[in-house]
Amino acid sequence: MNDGSDGRGGVVFADGYVVPITGLLSLLFALLAGMTALPALSGSAGDLALPVVFGISSLACFRIRQRYVAALDGEGR
């Protein structure tokens, strides 16, 4: 009987969920960064932090997605 753990105390994700969810999060953060860029450029210098944070979040989600896909390929799938 599988209890959902991988034997190392970690959580096992279903193969079908991680890649699409991180891809959608990456797209969402990129869209938010683009939508907030123009108001931030015309506003104060402090307003520029929001699109930068969204852009970094988008890149982080994309990197997590790439690492997960590479890990799946490394397992011989």
Cα distance between residue 75 and residue 31, in whole Å: 33
pLDDT of residue 8: 55
Question: Does pLDDT of 6 surpass 60?
Answer: no
The answer to whether position 61 is within a domain reads yes
Range of 47's domain?
17-74
pTM: 0.68
Model pLDDT for residues 18-44, shown as the tens digit of each residue? 788 888 999 999 999 999 988 888 888
In a domain, 8, yes or no: no
Q: How many distinct structural domains can be found in the chain?
A: 1
Burial category of 62 from C-beta neighbours within 10 Å (exposed 0-12, middle 13-18, buried 19 and up): middle
- Is the residue at 62 inside a domain? yes
What pLDDT sits at residue 55? 92
* 41 located within any domain: yes
Q: Which residues pair with 5 in a beta bridge?
A: 11
Query: For the ranges 21-25, 57-61, 68-72, which has the lowest average pLDDT?
Result: 68-72
Residue 3 lies in a domain: no
Kindly indicate the confidence band of residue 2, based on its pLDDT and cuts at 50, 70 and 90: low
